[in-house]
Structures are given as structure tokens and as C-alpha cells.
Chain A
Amino acid sequence: MAETPDVLQTLQAALFPQHLLAVHQYRAQPTVLLKREGLLEVARFLRDEETLQFNFLMDVTAVDYLKFGKSLASAPTLATPAPLPYYMMPKPQAEAWERGVSNDDYRFDVVYHVYSSVHGHRLRLKVPVATADPVVPSLTGLWHSANWFEREVWDMFGIRFEGHPNLRRILLYEEFKGHPLRKDYPIRKRQPLIGPVY
């Protein structure tokens, strides 16, 4: 779509360089990495600016980069040292994807997908968050959809949202300890309320 580069240009031109960490496009989907201090300001701009008008906050989620690229299948094996045979290599691509920040400094990324029904364009915002201080400002003041999405991110990842009116678990029960979508939570670790613990 011809409009997507304009979105990025408008953002950059709007003189938010102090908040933008990186800006890129992968598979024709523009992504913007923001510092969390600038999230509210940039989000308000995205919603209210005439040429952008992102009236839908479609999705809020998070990604835990703790084990990114570290699975056995993503590394060359001892038997087949680099370069990997053709069937283990992803197809050579014209564009490469970079996260934008280091996985060790920032364990989580809070990912926002916004959509404009007026202009028809989409944008992805990412806010890198460190393990030591997983707090991000809440967007409930700008879009009502943020309410439940942020509760889910809190439930699954343990990332707090400052200013959220009602930050409690939504998909799991209050007695559940831990945040299951984190990469260090084993999938089979059960915490039953009643019944035996298997």
C-alpha cells in the first residue's frame, strides 16, 4: 500500500525522535519501536492526527524474547556445522528483520496493533520492556479496548500497566501464581484449585 511509508514519514516528521527507537518495514508492515516514556504522546498523536486517525486499537500483546533464536532447531547442529543445508535454511529473502533492541537488555516487547478505518492503514507499535522494571503506561485513557487487552498481558506476562483502572487477572484465576506465557513457565505446570496436582 502506498500510504504506509507516509505513516512512518509523518511520525518521523512529527518530531518525535526522542521517543522513537527504530522504524522499519517488514513484509510491507510498518513497525515503530518506542520508548515507554513516549508511548502516551505518540499514541495520542496517532489517534488524533488528521492524516493518520488510528481509531482502532486492534490488539495489545507481548512477546517474551528470552529464548529467541536459542532453540535447538534454530542453531546449526554439531553434525551439520554452518552453513546449513538448503532444506534447513529459510528461503533467501530480500529483506531482513531486526528487532531493533538487544534481547538481553529488554526481555519483553509490548506490541500494539492500530488500525485506521478512515484511511485503511495499519501500524505496529512496540515498546521494549526490561525484566527488572516491567511497567508500561496504560492506554485505557485513549482507547477503551486497551482495558481488557492490558489485563490479559498482565495475566499472561506479568507486565504492569500504569494507570489501568482494574489490573487483575482475566483468563486465569486469582490463586494462580506465575505468568504462563513467559518462556520460563513450563506448559504442564498445573496449579489446580481442587483435585490432585498431577
Chain B
Amino acid sequence: MTPSATLPADPTRVTETRHMFLNMGPQHPAMHGIIQFILELDGERVVGADAEIGYLHRAFEKHGEYGPYNNVIPYTDRLNYVSPLINNFGYCLAVERLLGIEATERCQYIRVIMSELSRITDHLTCVGASGMELGAFTVFLYLIKAREWLWELVEAVTGARLTISYGRVGGVKADLPPGFAERTRKVLEQVRGVLLECDTLLTRNRIFVDRMQGTGVISKERAISYGITGPFLRGSGLALDTRKAQPYFVYDRMDFDVPTGEHGDNYDRYLVRMEEMEQSMRIVEQALAQLPGGPLNVDYEGRVLPADVMVDQAKMGQVAGFRGVHVALDPTLEGSTRGFHEAVNAGEKRAVLPAKEDTYGNIEGLMHHFKLIMLGHGIRPPQGEYYSAVEGANGELGFYIVSDGSDRPYRVRVHPPCFPIMGAVSEILVGDMVADIVPTFGSVNMIGGELDR
């Protein structure tokens, strides 16, 4: 068509309205780094959205098939890396059920306490990051400060802040350090103070409420059809919590509420998460009060050997008196010595390593250790499959394990709670503005390690 100096005869052919395609991600500050939304926009309003995931696929399920059962645990840490303890224990629960063993009561209480601390850190990170993305940077700083206190607690127990590899099939790595209960109570008091501050800053904040209320709405029926669980579903009105529906560990002895929202919008989910943190703290306090007795009474001769001395003596065959000795290990391994070890690990010789004193102190312990550690030996569940579900911070975290009778898992499948939520997000975003994507995505609490595995 040749350009002409006069307007064409038909004025309606001068302009044309088309939708714009905008790419949001995969590197975008509000996209937590690894999500790509391909948005079809009519001005500012989203008329179509598609989420592209997989930018953090790290082959968790394939790695699970390549090593003995306990080797999968570090990979599970990095699934939902803001609440790694829940992933550890979810996996250990699945393998234990497949083996047909049960952890000791003290171990189950410890698992409940650590899971709930992990859940609190997850919600702190989620609310903090959402706040930051909406511009409430102070809230982020306050909540991360609270998270640091909790991480210091976790570090006292497990030795690491984030990727803790604390669970073991049949138990946990080590018992709680002395003084943990008192310290935890103090920290929870401080965390409550911080949560109150953030509540004052956000909950009735006009800007926050305007941005979060009415955006990212999903109805209960749609959420169920999408297989959504966790705070996202509870924000829409269904009070479904795996800890109540199918209790595991000692959750049936805990008294806690399941907060539920009404409208299924971002604001309700924020309130659900804030309340869940309070409920988690309740559970921790109850569990600390109910925690069964400490380590078993082992008759010591009163001798405490440093670990290297014990190993040297044992190598030279000088094991006389080792039956009653207690070894002093590295501070990060404290709580895994004789006495503590039996308190937190199931008595199942086919699954649980012996205490270090037995490994180095007598031949039975050495053989036992060998038969569990060497490749080709190790934990051997019978042929079978099991799906176990625990309540992760985002919803139902399911582990489906298939065993073929060998020492390696045949198939480790993790049902990631944020995967179905991300599947629904493209539908949730339709009708909202581009600016509403940020709070909606923030309340999804997409954790890449879990989503892409």
C-alpha cells in the first residue's frame, strides 16, 4: 500500500487494537528468579497468562535412584529450601513406613518441634518477601531478623542454618542440645514480638489492603479441582490440613487450630499465614512441655574420651572398658553419642547406624556399621511402594517411594505442593492488572527447588 498524503477513506482502518505480549521473567526481582510469565495484556489488564517453569530443574528424582536411602536426604533439603526439615522428615517417614518401623517417641516430638520451626521460617520468608515486593521493605528486614533467631536455634540442633540433612531413616541425626527448651521459649517470645510489629505495619495498612484484597482470587471448587492444598487452599475456605486429617508423628496429641480464610484472595492468604505462625508456635511450646525424658541412662564409668583418642586406641585393639565409655565428638555431632543415640533412633538394626562408641568400641558395632554403610549393603526395604503425605509449608508434601528390595530406592517421587498452585496461577491472573501479579505470585510462595525439583 503506497503511503498517501491524505487519510484513507475509512477512518476505522487507521488504528487497530491488539493485545500485547509481555514476558515477565525468568529473571525478575518479583519472580523469585526462575519463573517466566508470558502475559497477554490488554493495556494493564491481563487477559491471558502462561507460566514457564523448569529453570531450576536439578534432577532430584533421578538422583534419588543413585545412592542408598540416606543419600537422598541432602537432596531433600534443597527441595523446599526455606523449610528443609519438613522435607527431610517427610522422606524419612515414607521410608520408615515402607520398612515398617517407627521412630521413638522422643524422636517424633523432636521432629514435630523442628518441623514447626521450619514452617515458621517458611512463612516468615514468604510474608517478608511479599512485603518487600510490594514496597514494604521494613517488614522484610524485621521478619528476616526473626528468621535469623530461628536459624540460630536450628543451627544449635542440626549444625547448619539452611541445608541441614538432619533426618535419618529411623530417627534424626542427633538429640537436642541442653538448654534448648529454655532458649526456644525465649526466641518464640521475641518472634511473637516481631510478628506483632509486622501485623501493626501491614494488616490494616491501606496500601497493603488495597493491593492484596480482591486480587488473586480463586474459589474453593477451582482450588480443589487444581489439587491445591495448604495455605492457598485454606485461604479459599477449606480447612484441610494433613496434620489434622491424617496425623503423623505426634500431631494427634497437639492442640492447634487450622486458620481458614473466606474470600480466597491474597489478603486472606496473608492472614492465614500469619495465624499459622502463631499456631506453629503453640505446637512447639506444647511439644517442648510434653517432650519425653532425655537420653537413656547409660552406666558410665565417668570416662569421657575424645573421639580421636578412642579411634586410635580402638585401632590398636585397646577396647577394654569401652563398653561404658562416653565419647566427646565434634560440637556439630553432639547429641549423637551413646545414650542420646538410642533415644532418638528406632531400635531397628537394619536401618539405623550404631552409636559411635559401638562402631569403634566393639566388633558387633563395627560390623553393624559396615553392613549399613557399604555400597551394596544398607537399608533394604522389601519390594513395595508407599505414598506418605506430610503437611509442608505450602501444602501436602507427598513422597512416593518404590522399592525393589535393593539398597537404593527404585523411584523417589515428591509431590510438590506448589506445583498445582503454579498450574492454577495462569488462570488466577486473568482479569487482574499487571501490578496484581506481584502480590499474587508472592502469596503462592513458589519455591523453585520444590517446583522444579
- Residues of A whose CB lies within 8 Å of any CB of B are 26-27, 29, 31, 55-59, 61, 63-64, 68-69, 71-74, 87-91, 93, 96-97, 111, 113, 117, 120, 122, 124, 143-145, 147-149, 152, 156, 169-173, 180-181, 187
Contacts and interface: CB of A to CB of B under 8 A. Distances in A.
A93 B422 contact: no
Contact of A187 (B66, B226, B380, B384): B66
A59 B226 contact: no
A113 to B, nearest CB: 6
Given A87-B371, A144-B225, A187-B59, A171 B53 contact: yes
Interface stretch (B138-146, B192-200, B395-403): B395-403
Nearest to A113: B387
A61 B97 CA distance: 20
Which of B98, B99, B385 has most A Cβ within 10 Å?
Answer: B385
B406 A73 contact: yes
* A63, A91, A156, A172: residue with the most chain B Cβ atoms closer than 10 Å: A91
B273 interface: no
B54 A171 contact: yes
B61 A181 contact: yes
B408 interface: yes
Nearest to B451: A171
A57 B224 CA distance: 9
A172 B57 contact: yes
A44 B175 CA distance: 48
Given A59-B398, A172-B57, A90 B415 contact: no
Given A148-B422, A181-B62, A143 B380 contact: no
Interface string B226-245: 11110000000010100001
A184 to B, nearest CB: 12
A181 to B, nearest CB: 6
A29 B398 CA distance: 14
Given A27-B97, A58-B396, A143-B226, 19 more contacts: A29-B386, A29-B387, A56-B224, A56-B229, A59-B415, A63-B410, A68-B410, A72-B376, A87-B350, A93-B382, A96-B383, A111-B413, A113-B387, A117-B224, A144-B222, A148-B419, A171-B53, A172-B54, A181-B62
Interface centre among A64, A88, A143, A173 (most CB of B within 10 A): A88
Interface of B: 53-54, 57, 59, 61-63, 66, 97-100, 222, 224-229, 238, 240, 245-246, 348, 350, 371, 375-378, 380-387, 389, 396, 398, 400, 402, 404-408, 410-411, 413, 415, 419-420, 422-424, 452-453
Contacts of A89: 380
B188 to A, nearest CB: 31
A180 B415 contact: no
A91 B99 contact: yes
Given A27-B384, A97-B385, A120-B246, A74 B404 contact: yes
A59 B410 contact: no
9 nearest CB pairs, A to B: A145-B227, A74-B406, A97-B384, A171-B54, A148-B423, A90-B382, A73-B406, A59-B415, A87-B371
A57 B452 CA distance: 19
A143 B225 contact: yes
A99 B405 CA distance: 13
Given A180-B59, A181-B62, A187-B63, A90 B224 contact: no
A58 B398 contact: yes
Of B350, B381, B383, B389, chain A has the most CB atoms within 10 Å of the CB of: B383
B238 A71 contact: no
14 contacts: A69-B405, A71-B406, A87-B350, A91-B382, A97-B383, A111-B400, A117-B224, A144-B424, A145-B227, A145-B228, A148-B419, A169-B54, A171-B57, A171-B452
A73 B382 contact: no
B406 A124 contact: no
A149 B422 CA distance: 11
Nearest to B350: A91
Contacts of B246: 120
Given A59-B398, A68-B410, A90-B405, A180 B62 contact: yes
Given A29-B386, A180-B62, A58 B227 contact: yes
A29 B423 CA distance: 27
Contacts of A117: 224, 238, 240, 245
B100 A93 contact: yes
B246 to A, nearest CB: 7
B227 A97 contact: no
Contact of A71 (B384, B387, B404, B413): B404
A143 B375 CA distance: 42
Nearest to B245: A120
B385 A57 contact: no
B375 to A, nearest CB: 8
Contact of A87 (B377, B384, B398): B377
Contacts of A29: 386-387
Contacts of B54: 169-173
A68 B65 CA distance: 12
B386 to A, nearest CB: 6
Q: Which of A61, A63, A111 has the most CB of B within 10 A?
A: A61
Given A58-B415, A147-B423, A171-B57, A90 B386 contact: no
Nearest to A93: B382
Nearest to B370: A87
